[in-house]
């Protein structure tokens, strides 16, 4: 299905990415910024993992009764790596946000500005 000249799947990824980007740059709350970053990551992962798809193909698990066409396993493996890195980034960012809240009593960027 084609919408605005591109595949509707690609359109969904672009929309999801831009929703995340908007949250990241426009929200003042650090937690919401982090959520935005995660939404962006989700868009990238969905884009990558679906790039391995082939119309009518089986998952890349070669057991009896599957094939002859299989989806590409490389994007799957790379997205798995990406998810682990995303989890790590989220964990460290959350810990830092807890620290900021403990130290300044707020996690709003506009209130944090100018604080010593």
Partner 1 sequence: MRWLGLALVVVAAATLMLGVADLPPHGAHDAPVHTHVGARYLERGVAETGMRNLVTAVLLVYRGFDTFLEVVVIFSALVAVVALPRGRAARSRDGDDQPPAALLTREGPAQERISVSPVVAFVVQLLGPFIAVFALASLYRGHVSPGGGFQSAAIFGALFIALALVQGRERAARLVPRGARVWLQALGPLSFALIGGVGWVLTGAFLGYPAEAAAYALREAMVVAVEIGIAVGGAVILAQLFMAMEG
Binding stretches for partner 1 (CB under 8 A): 4-7, 9-11, 13-14, 17-18, 21-22, 25-26, 29, 31-32, 50-57, 59-63, 69-70, 72-78, 80-81, 83-85, 87-89, 91-92, 94-99, 101-105, 107-108
> Nearest 5°: phi and psi at 71?
-70, 160
What value does the CA radius of gyration of the chain take, rounded to a whole number of Å?
19
Of residues 81 and 114, the one with the C-beta less far from partner 1: 81
Cα distance between residue 101 and residue 112, in whole Å: 10
Please answer whether residues 48 and 75 qualify as being in contact, where contact means their C-beta atoms are separated by less than 8 angstroms. yes
Cα distance between residue 32 and residue 29, in whole Å: 5
Q: How many CA atoms lie within 13 A of 66 on its CB side?
A: 10
């Amino acid at each position: 299905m084609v919408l605005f000249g591109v595949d509707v799947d690609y359109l969904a990824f672009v929309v999801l990415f831009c929703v995340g980007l908007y949250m990241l740059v426009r929200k003042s709350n650090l937690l919401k910024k982090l959520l935005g970053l995660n939404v962006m990551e989700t868009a990238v992962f969905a884009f990558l993992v679906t790039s391995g798809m082939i119309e009518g193909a089986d998952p890349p698990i070669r057991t009896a009764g599957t094939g002859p066409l299989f989806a590409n396993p490389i994007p799957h493996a790379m997205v798995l790596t990406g998810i682990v890195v995303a989890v790590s980034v989220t964990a460290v960012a959350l810990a830092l946000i807890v620290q900021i809240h403990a130290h300044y009593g707020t996690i709003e960027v506009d209130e944090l500005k100018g604080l010593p």
